[in-house]
Structure 1
């Protein structure tokens, strides 16, 4: 079983929790031991044989509480602070030795990240010089490394309160995470702080997590690194919001890069891949109104991007408790300068090349799609998915409009309205069920393709059928087929569509019973249909047509040409109709 580490708001809660945990585990035959706490009262409520070895023999009334390891971090239970234990092993002054010592400084929260950056920069330079892992480094690098190694001992005097707000602060009215990011030619980094406000309007701020990374060997512009740091800030914010068990207001992001702010505000320009991907990631997780400007001198992430000596960091209150303006009234916070200046000279903007040419033909987008696919079924599927997307976008547009109307009734602040609408739309997208294409979807796609094909081949006929006369010209090749327009598709007209005869026959039989003889006029279309059926039967042999007519014993009789009196009653019905 692994260690269990938790925190509660009061000693009474801690005593009750420890007792319930011990009772619960005991029911399953497990005995919890090695108990440690920063509260003497809690320790006194735990049997001595179940306490940690370091506190078993302590006189809780006067002895100093020990320092314990909590998930790899040194926890001084007496002062309730996190500290660092420095035990530098003997290693050669090579890339392998330097990496071993740097990696031995365990700092999962990045509390001393600015101090580790200088050593990482030495490693990057050695890598750039293509030194082997066990090759001795030159004197310049060796001098810088030994200086950093000597200052590493100062790390043992660094400490930070475990509790992120003072004991006498009282109940929290609101909590908000502030994420700072910055970059330089050496590296880039972030620093995230939690800002509490109590019922009296008092504020306190403390560091939650920081990150510091060296710039890549490949040359990257500082604005690009600034954007990368902003991405890291968003990722850290996501992590903190997921892990913190407290109600948080909307996070705030601070940067001293006006270029980053312009990137996030811009909707018109297209960026190169590097910038475009990062801007898309940030805008998916945040809105531009969450991003604010801070001067470099007041940005705590500045030292995370440049590095700092151990002795300086220990005395730097701005690093531990954040910039002082956060604890002031929000009206005193830094304001954003005008960022509406042109970005035409930015190298990250994708340039558009205009080419003038003379074209004698226009090719429709659907025609290009038809030419792209060589398989009819795949073409129909592609069209069906596009129709599905079209319907989905229309549905989202309607829902967004409805959502805006509902939110506007409850919220007057435009920025909060925008956030709530975005949250509702995200929830709507997640709730939608992903359905495969249906047969009807493919049929609808086929109709679209037929309409397009007819529009390309018979534009005059379509115009005539859509007009008042609803009839094509006699010069049209479709004239003898008596075409009609149904649902935007040209179909063969007349009293009976020859292509639909087998299907109509089946429908008739299903409703009226078995047919033995079919009589009809000797019109041109019927003669053509009879001839076509004969040819199909001869060609297909045991095909569906033969099974549908011959095997059912149906005889198709044509009347004598121009002898309408043979029709009898049906001719009378036609005349009266």
Structure 2
């Protein structure tokens, strides 16, 4: 990663412009970018104009920061964060704070069937400490709160609808335009037409098959914890059905599970298997075909 810095005098405007060029949505470069954030806070305290030359000590810190960006090309962060043949997955959240800044990060720890363990960085975030002086314990609480908010982020997977309409299929329901002639539709309505056609086929050709179950005489194809599912609700249109992850299954007196607890954005709910549509099934890679 490189920042194109001209030989002109370093000003607050040029620093802000160059820092804004760094695109890091997952916070993988947080330990580096926090230096620039602290520098911008110091410039704000100096109350200098946007086009005024910054003091020498600020210019030295900025030049050192720009030179350090060249070392980022040597860093490699694997983006396949979940190991193969996984037995279970854990999210580990860490947070810390100082008088200058605080931050949090999340690691995914995967234990495979062969007992191998892999740990991968998933996401992180840093913030500059407020101008009002706070104690270290209070700043550490701010870091813990930041970590809790990272944990509560929506880590739902990408679906085909994201590529068609830029959002999941659980978006608010719009007017049905499938029977309207296409030459009468505006651009936005044409996108809605694609979305509705896709949803119609998806529900008829995919979701309906997920609910086909044989008689519960044997414990077969049982839902597994952490499986991504859609909760069917007869009182809501399909586009408003809730996404969730299975927390645990509850076996009956015969040892066969027919009920599961599911964690959703609104909390944990309990539903029967007939109301649960699993979206993705993990295939055992060791199974012989």
TM-score range, shorter chain: 0.5 to 0.7
Could you say which residue in structure 2 is the equivalent of 1:130?
47
| C-alpha spacing 1:426/1:243, structure 2 compared with 1 (3 Å) | closer
1:156 equivalent to 2:73? Answer yes
Cα separation, 2, equivalents of 1:227 and 1:133: 34
1:94 equivalent to 2:8? Answer no
- Aligned partner of 1:188 among 78, 81, 102: 102
C-alpha contact 1:188 1:229 (8 A) present in aligned 2: yes
| C-alpha spacing 1:206/1:102, structure 2 compared with 1 (3 Å) | same
Could you say which residue in structure 2 is the equivalent of 1:243?
156
Cα separation, 1, equivalents of 2:120 and 2:43: 36
Cα separation, 2, equivalents of 1:207 and 1:107: 14
- Aligned partner of 2:37 among 114, 120, 136: 120
Give a deviation string over 1:276-315, Cα, whole Å, max 9, x none.
Answer: xxxxxxxxxxxxxxxxxxxxxxxxxxxxxxxxxxxxxxxx
Cα separation, 2, equivalents of 1:221 and 1:235: 21
Could you say which residue in structure 2 is the equivalent of 1:216?
130
Query: What is the total number of aligned residue pairs between the two structures?
Result: 167
Q: 1:123: Cα distance to partner?
A: 1.1
Off by >6 Å, runs of 4+ in structure 1: none
Give a deviation string over 1:360-413, Cα, whole Å, max 9, x none.
Answer: xxxxxxxxxxxxxxxxxxxxxxxxxxxxxxxxxxxxxxxxxxxxxxx9x99xxx
Q: 1:92: Cα distance to partner?
A: 4.1
1:206 equivalent to 2:206? Answer no
Could you say which residue in structure 1 is the equivalent of 2:139?
225
Taking structure 1 as the reference length, the TM-score comes to 0.27
Give a deviation string over 1:25-55, Cα, whole Å, max 9, x none.
Answer: xxxxxxxxxxxxxxxxxxxxxxxxxxxxxxx
Give a deviation string over 1:130-161, Cα, whole Å, max 9, x none.
Answer: 12222111111111111111222222222212
> 3-state SS of the aligned residue for 1:243?
coil
Asked which structure has the greater CA Rg, the reply is: 1
- Which protein, 1 or 2, shows the higher relative CO under an 8 Å CA cutoff with sep ≥ 6? 2
Structure 2, unmatched stretches of 5+, are: 159-249, 254-260, 270-289
Could you say which residue in structure 2 is the equivalent of 1:46?
none
C-alpha contact 2:3 2:18 (8 A) present in aligned 1: no
Structure 1, unmatched stretches of 5+, are: 1-84, 246-406, 411-419, 429-577
> 3-state SS of the aligned residue for 1:160?
coil
Q: 1:188: Cα distance to partner?
A: 0.4
Cα separation, 2, equivalents of 1:87 and 1:129: 24
> 3-state SS of the aligned residue for 2:153?
helix
C-alpha contact 1:86 1:156 (8 A) present in aligned 2: no
Q: 1:427: Cα distance to partner?
A: 5.3
Cα separation, 2, equivalents of 1:217 and 1:145: 21
> 3-state SS of the aligned residue for 1:131?
coil
| C-alpha spacing 1:143/1:87, structure 2 compared with 1 (3 Å) | closer
Superposition pairs of residues 212-291 of structure 1, within 5 angstroms: 212-239=126-153, 242-243=155-156
Cα separation, 2, equivalents of 1:107 and 1:426: 30
